Structure 1
Amino acid sequence: MALAHPEVPAARRPGRIWTVRVTGHSDRSASVVCSAACRMPARSRDVAALRRFAEAHAAAHAKAATVRGDASCQCRVQQCSAHQGTKVLCGGTVLLVLRHNPAVGRVWTLAEVCERCAPLMTHARVVGRAAPRDTAKPPVAPGRAARPQASPRPGTEPLVTSGPGTDPSGGRRQPDAPRPAPARLAAESADAGRPAPAGNGTPAGTGRAAAPVPGGFTAPAAGVPQRGVRRT
C-alpha cells in the first residue's frame, strides 16, 4: 500500500493546514470559506467586515490548535513552494505559522512546518510551537541498591514519656524503684522495735498490771491460766 506522501517518513504524521479565504462575486458581494468546513457568516456586500471576520477566524484556529511534535513539514509536502529558489533539508522543531499577504488581503493560511522552512517563508509569522519533550529523570538502574539511612548519633534517641519506671521530669527511663510497704506492715515493724514500758510490768496486749508478791516475784494477772504448783 503506497503512502499518501512517499517523501514523508512513516514515523511522522502529515502536517495540518487551514486556509481561510474571502471570495468575491459578480454582484459586488463576498463570502468567507474555511478549509475546515466551519460555519461561516452569510454572503454580504460588506467586504471589510468579512475580511475582519476571516482574520479573527484564522487567529481562533491558531489559538485552538495544539502543535504536534511528530508532524511532518507542510511546506515540504507542497514542494517548498512558499520559498521557491531556496532549498533546505527539513528538520528541527515543528512550528505553526500564519501566512497572509497584505497586498492581496483575502487569504490566511495556517500550517505546521519545520523550523528550517519557517524563516524562509514570505509573509509568515510563527504563532505556535510544539511542546518540548518530557525531560524527566531517568529511572534508577536495576540492581543498584538505595543508600542506607544513617543511624542516629548516640544521645539522640527519642525520649520515653510514659510507662513504668519513667521520670516525668526528665522523660528518660529510670530503673524500677522499690515499692513502699503497706501501712499495716509498717506499723507492725515500728511496734516491734519499740522498747517495752518499765515499772508496771504490764504484759503487752493486756490492760491489767501484775500484782507484786513478797519474795520478789510477780503474781500473774487475773484471767491468765496458771499451771498447777506442786506443794510440798
Structure 2
Amino acid sequence: MSERLYLFTRFERFWHWSQAALIITLLLSGFGIRGVHGMADFETAVRVHEAAAWLLIGLWVFAIFWHFTTGQWKHYLPTRDRLAAMMRYYAYGMFVGEPHPYRITLERKHNPLQRLAYLGIKLVINPLIWVSGLLYLFWGSVRDSVPGFLGLEQVAGLHALGAYLMLSFLLLHVYLATAGHTPLAHIKAMVTGWEEVHDAPALDERRGWRRKAANRWRGRQTLR
C-alpha cells in the first residue's frame, strides 16, 4: 500500500532547483578562480561567481520570507525523536534492506537527520560562506573595521573552507536522494511535488533492489 502526498509546493521546487544550479555554478566558478580547473579564464570566472552569488542571496531572501510567512520553518526544527534509528538506518540498515524508520507526513517533511543537516547549513555553512565572501568582495572598504588578526588571506581561506563544506553536503545530499523505495523516487518527488509514502509491501520491494545491489558488491569483492 502507498499514499501520495503533495509534499513540495511549486515555490519549494523552484527554490530547490534554482538553489542547486546556483550553488553548483558558484562551486565551479570558485574553484576556477583558485586555479583548480581551466574551464574559464580568471576574469570570466570572477564575473560568473559574483553574479551567481547575488542571485543566490536574492533567492534566499525570498525563501526566508516564504518560510516564515507560511510556517514552513517548523519543518527544520531539530528533534531527537528517532534520531538514533535514522543514524543506524543510513549507516547500516539501508544497505541490508531494513525498512525506513521514519514516515513522512505533511506535518513532518524531514526526518531528524535531515533537520540537523539543514540546520547546520543555515547556521554554520551559509553564514561562513556569505560573511567571508562579502568581506572578500568589499575588503577595501571594511579592512579597517575587522580584527587585526584577520587578513585577506585568512578570509579567503575561510571562504574556501565553506565551499568545501558545501561541496561535501551536496555530494552527500545527492547520494541520500537515492535512498527512497526506488533510486529516483525522491528526485521525482522534487520535480512533481508528489511523494509516494510506502507501507510494508513496498518496503519489501525496496529491500529487494537494495539486497541485489549489496550482493553485486559482495560478488565483486570476492572476485578481487
Q: TM-score range by the shorter chain?
A: under 0.3
Q: Structure 2 length as normaliser, TM-score? A: 0.24
Q: Structure 1 length as normaliser, TM-score? A: 0.23
Structure that is richer in strand per residue? 1
Which structure's CA Rg is the greater one? 1
More relative contact order in 1 or in 2 (CA 8 Å, sep 6+)? 2
